[in-house]
A and B are shown apart, each in its own frame.
Chain A
Amino acid sequence: MLLQQIINGLTLGAVYALIALGYTMVYGILQLINFAHGEVYMLGAYLGIIILGFLTSIGLTAISLPLSISITLVLSMLFCAAYGMTIERIAYKPLRNAPRLSPLISAIGVSIFLQNFVMLSQGATDKVFPPILKAEGLSILNARITFLQIFIIIASILMMAGLHLFIMKTRLGKAMRATAQDRKMAVLLGIDIDRVISITFIIGSGLAAAAGVMVAMYYGLVNYFIGYVAGIKAFTAAVIGGIGSIPGAMLGGILLGLLEAFGAGYISSEYKDVFAFGLLIIILILRPEGLLGKQFGERSK
């Protein structure tokens, strides 16, 4: 049972972590909580269903399932990256110098807009993923892990490792870190911060889309409302890990997933959400900057 719960928790946590990264990156650079981020994840899930449905109809999934899943993943990430960039251009960029509350309200507006947009264009009922994936898997010590779960865990870890390398090793990553530290100084040093911000949204939205596609495949079900709960959970993960900190978001996501699995398995699933948000409260009281967050003094904007 222990091993099984770890598998359950890791799968859930990997997805939370992927979404949390988008929150934390945007916060790190703009000090903005992008409430529309959960909706980008939802768009990713829908795109996954649509693209995979299309590939099934032309017969590609029957020939090569891994290939069609990769195509779905990549296309949906590209689409959502475009969505993320557009959202930033339309809803946040004009408000860059406005009081901090204005972009926050704008974010909530975008979130409501996207929910209703999907509801009206895709219908208000649940969409079911094409049943092409069988529930096959491996049994280890009385615990079962499906191939899809293995895929989700490995793909998430690869993506997170890739992101870490990107931030730490590339020029653009350095520019992102610089912008996060001090935006004004970054501009003075000749960093094109508009580009950095765009890239941030592109990467964050791409990761959310990947999470969306994987969740849609895993549960086989999406509706226009899934972005809300997932968004709140991922945001919690980001805060627990320390908002603004990229390793923090990964740690927070995994921790939250494991906590939910263990809480529901060993105590009671009636209080599943209580464990998640209870931990959030404890962290906020004892260590407000989050587990891996840095303590900042008065932040220069």
Chain B
Amino acid sequence: MKRTILLILFSLFTIHYLLFTDIGCAKKEDVIKIGTAGPFTGDQARIGNDMKNGVELAVSEWNAKGGVLGKKIVLLSEDDRHDPKEAVAVANKLVSLDVVGVIGHLNSSCTKPASRIYNEKSVPMITPASTNPEITKQGYNNVFRTCGRDDQQGTELSKFVVDVLKKKKIAILNDKTTYGQGLAEEFKKSANNKIEVVVSEGVTQGDQDFKPVLTKIKSANPEVIFFGGMHTEGGLIIKQAKELGIKAPVIGGDGLYGSTFLEVAGPAAEGAYMAFFTPTAETEVGRNFVKSYTAKYGEIETYAPYAYDATNILLKAIAESKTTDGKKLIDAIRKMKYEGAVGTIEYDENGDIKKAGYTIYTVKDKKFITYDKVK
């Protein structure tokens, strides 16, 4: 009896499976698939979904206008949980599903290993958020980004510490990821001999208790604490530093920008500094984007406009070159001059944007504002 039931179940599954694959095959030629990948669950889910929403918005706008090359655009989104291992698996999956291009990943530590897989199949990828300089230096021609690089924001941050804050004794912390460690390195490098590093330490991403290392920092008595890492750890570090009675301000990169940081750090966030992309001049595209994004998803978190532009660049390249061939698309993207929500985007030979600006922000009354507005 048991056996018969099993057999029936098994055959049902098989039939189901065949049916679905069949539908899949039939549909294959009628749509254009693009992929997006990032941390859609977990502690970075909020910025991850913010990025995904940006992509979705662009895709739905194109589909409303009739898709691209007369075909409907299908978006495949995959969760890499900001885990490099997962990112590779996700990249392989997207490639095997024949995506034409990929928007993502979000974290540098994921983008870097994933880019190799997209490169093997010449799938163009545009990351809206990975800022590690190495990513576009790997010699892969399929890699682009709509954001800036850590050497650019590292320079901006060190200039700020040395010239504006006029501080010398610095404690440097990083979260041991490609992004955090890279940013801390760039900061140290660009500050050159103008700063004195009193403590240099790494912490583990996902950890919640930083008091032991902060106690060590407290006894070294730095004037500024630099943190290369993301908002959750950054928020906890600032909060716990206050609890230990550390008065030195905390400064970090774009990873600290976002509402999660404000929530986690609470009142301790006031007076923290971080570099983030320069607010762009008001453009028609930008205004429309903000209007339709907030109507559909609510407040913009961080990378949504960069993801929106990245998606539009990819789809425009498909529309203009009238092909889904990866190599031709890569050439089309490289030659493109695109007026987007974040301003004009043009690419250099590495896949970096030609004009990338960073500005120092600070937290005042639970809001991020540019530092020059404080004075």
Residues of A near any B CB (own CB < 8 A): 1, 4-5, 8-9, 11-12, 119, 123-126, 128, 131, 135, 137, 139, 144, 146, 215, 219-221, 223, 225-226, 229, 260-266, 268-270, 272-273
Partner of B266, one of A131, A146, A263: A131
Closest to A4 in B: B215
Residues of B within 8 A of A (CB): 40-43, 45-46, 176, 201-204, 206-213, 215-216, 218-219, 232, 235-236, 239, 242-245, 260, 263-264, 266-268
A12 contacts across to B, CB distance below 8 A:
209
A280: shortest Cβ distance to chain B, in Å?
A: 17
Q: Do A269 and B213 touch (CB < 8 A)?
A: yes
**Residue of A at shortest CB range from B240?**
A219
CA distance A234 to B211 in the complex (A): 19
| Inter-subunit contact B209/A219 (CB<8 Å) | yes
Contacts of A119 in B (CB 8 A): 41
**Known contacts A1-B219, A220-B264: A135-B213 contact under CB 8 Å:** no
- Chain B residues with Cβ under 8 A from A260's Cβ? 209, 212
A sample of 15 cross-chain residue pairs with beta-carbon separation below 8 angstroms, ordered by A number, consists of: A4-B244, A8-B209, A126-B43, A126-B260, A128-B263, A128-B264, A135-B268, A137-B243, A219-B209, A226-B208, A260-B212, A264-B216, A268-B201, A269-B216, A272-B203
Pick from A8, A139, A273: contact of B212, CB below 8 A: A8
Contact B204 A273 (CB under 8 A): yes
Q: CB distance B212 to A124 under 8 Å?
A: no
CA distance A265 to B220 in the complex (A): 12
Complex CA distance for A128 and B45, rounded to whole angstroms? 14
> A269 touching B42 by the CB < 8 A rule?
no
- With contacts A8-B215, A131-B267 taken as known, whether A269 is within 8 angstroms of B202 at the C-beta atoms is yes
Prevailing SS type, chain A contact patch: helix
CB of A146 within 8 A of CB of B243, answer: yes
CA distance A269 to B41 in the complex (A): 27
Which one of B42, B266, B267 contacts A223 once the chains associate, using CB atoms below 8 Å? B42
Query: Would you give the shortest CB distance from B227 to chain A, in whole angstroms?
Result: 13
Q: Which of B40, B202, B208, B210 contacts A270 (CB 8 A)?
A: B202
Q: How far is the CB of B85 from chain A (nearest CB, A)?
A: 16
Contact A124-B42, Cβ < 8 Å, known A4-B215, A261-B212, A265-B216: yes
Q: Which of chain A's residues has its CB closest to B246's CB? A: A144
Give the CA-CA distance A69 to B45 in the complex, in Å.
29
Q: Is the CB of A144 within 8 A of B243?
A: yes
A269–B267 Cα gap in the complex (Å)? 26
Listed from nearest, the 5 A-B pairs whose CB atoms lie closest are: A264-B212, A124-B41, A269-B213, A270-B202, A8-B211
Q: Give, as a whole number of angstroms, the nearest-CB distance from A271 to chain B.
A: 9
Least CB distance from B44 to A in Å reads 9
Chain B residues, Cβ within 8 Å of A139? 245
B138 to chain A, nearest CB (A): 26
Query: Do B242 and A270 touch across chains, with their CB atoms under 8 A apart?
Result: no
Using Cβ atoms and an 8 Å threshold, which residues of chain B touch A266?
A: 216
> Once the chains bind, are B209 and A270 in contact (CB under 8 Å)?
no
A114 CA to B375 CA, complexed, in Å: 50
Measured CB to CB, the nearest residue on chain B to A265 is: B212
A269 to B214, CA, bound (A): 10
* Residue from B43, B218, B239, B260 having most chain A Cβ neighbours under 10 A: B43
Q: Which residues of B contact A262 (CB under 8 A)?
A: 212
Q: Contact at B239–A135, with CB atoms within 8 Å?
A: yes
Contacts of B216 in A (CB 8 A): 1, 264-266, 269
Contact of B203 among A5, A124, A135, A269 (CB under 8 A): A269
Known: A144-B243, A144-B244. A269 touches B212 (CB 8 A): yes
Known pairs A126-B232, A273-B204; A264 contacts B43 (CB<8 A):
no
Q: How far in angstroms is the closest Cβ of chain B from A171?
A: 39
